[in-house]
Amino acid sequence: MATSGYRDYFKVLGIERNATDDEIKRAFRALARKYHPDVNPGDSSAENKFKEVSEAYEVLSDPDKRRKYEQYGQYWNHMGGMGSGSSSRGGFDVDFGRYGNFDDFINDLLGKFGGTRGATGFPGNGSFPRNVSRGSINLDAEVIVKISFSEAFHGTERVLSVNEERVQVRIPRGVKKGSRLRLKGKGNLQPGTGKRGDLYLNLEIQPHSIWRIEGDQLLANLPVSLDEIALGATITVMTPDGEAQVTIPEGMVPGQNLRLKGKGWISNNARGDLILSLKLQLPSQWSTEELQLLEKLRSVRCDDPRKSWLNSARL
């Protein structure tokens, strides 16, 4: 594809003139995938369109070329815009057959446009700037890792397959929903340079049937019987550390809480509290003796549970 004449590279990519690096990259990826020859076999117009959007990205992703393009318009390439190799070749050609898949091609192409060009218009020595500049690629990668509630509390280890490499990951105890771990140098690999980004693990904690996390506190409903909540009792409960004995004071009501200090979630080597909310659990079937006792209770009960409710409900 000849590079003579003026092309509005912003229109070619379908972006505004003040587009950011990320917007330029996203637009190029979408169009390159749309017009890639593998997607449009035998379609020469699609291949020409593909080369056109690639040329536009090559210019706009390079800070120096974009500055000259925006400053000099159709004469920008006379100011050294395309480099000696591209201007002498009148464009660039791509050997699509040497790529295993489309993503390999795109990553390689992004790398070429982000690198240091030699006389051929492609990276000369494979070196990249030390500081990430406008137009360079983000080699970082992200992955969602699902762990159980128990694994989140106690910590765990996982073996992940990353770019055909097995990576052992230590997940510390006490992680919460939204926790993010960083593995340096385990992200995407820049083709031909050896440069590699970081891998970020976004942790997803599976919900528990009993426990829930609120800050550093661990919460749960605690089923109790009618006699336990009315008369008080010492009962056995389960905590993250195992069984424990707790005392229910007499005269408590459903919805009140028992607090076990230092038995909650782990955070920075400290422990939050464990909060147990009392929930009245009535039997699905009463025994004859229980019903007789309830009859006795009804005959001696002096409190009307709806007295204040009736007064408040009047309109």
Q: How far apart are CA 195 and CA 115, in angstroms?
A: 11
Mean pLDDT of 50-72: 86
For the purposes of burial, counting CB atoms within 10 Å of the CB of 274, is it exposed (0-12), middle (13-18) or buried (19 or more)? buried
pLDDT of the residue at 258? 96
Reading the block at residue 20, the tokens are: 């950011």
pLDDT of the residue at 12? 92
Domain 9-114 in CATH 3.40.50.300? The answer is: no
Query: To which CATH superfamily is domain 212-284 assigned?
Result: Urease metallochaperone UreE, N-terminal domain (2.60.260.20)
Q: How far apart are CA 262 and CA 264, in angstroms?
A: 6
Residue ranges in 95-249 assigned as alpha helix (H): 102-114, 149-154, 226-231
pLDDT at 128 over 60: no
pLDDT band with cut points at 50, 70 and 90 for residue 68: confident
Contact yes or no for 61/44 (Cβ under 8 A):
no
Domain boundaries, the chain: 9-114, 141-205, 212-284
Contact yes or no for 248/278 (Cβ under 8 A):
yes
Mean pLDDT of 269-280: 93
pLDDT band with cut points at 50, 70 and 90 for residue 196: confident
pLDDT of the residue at 240? 86
Mean pLDDT of 289-306: 92
What is the chain's Cα-based Rg? Answer: 34
Mean pLDDT of 262-291: 92
| Fold match between domain 9-114 and domain 212-284 | no
Tell me: the pLDDT tens digits for 82-108? 443 333 333 444 444 444 445 555 555
Compute the CA torsion angle 207, 208, 210, 216 (nearest 10 deg). Answer: -70
Q: How far apart are CA 267 and CA 79, in angstroms?
A: 59
Tell me: the pLDDT tens digits for 205-238? 999 999 999 988 999 999 999 999 999 999 999 9
Q: How far apart are CA 116 and CA 123, in angstroms?
A: 5
Domain 141-205 in CATH 2.60.260.20? The answer is: yes
Percent of the chain with pLDDT over 90: 40
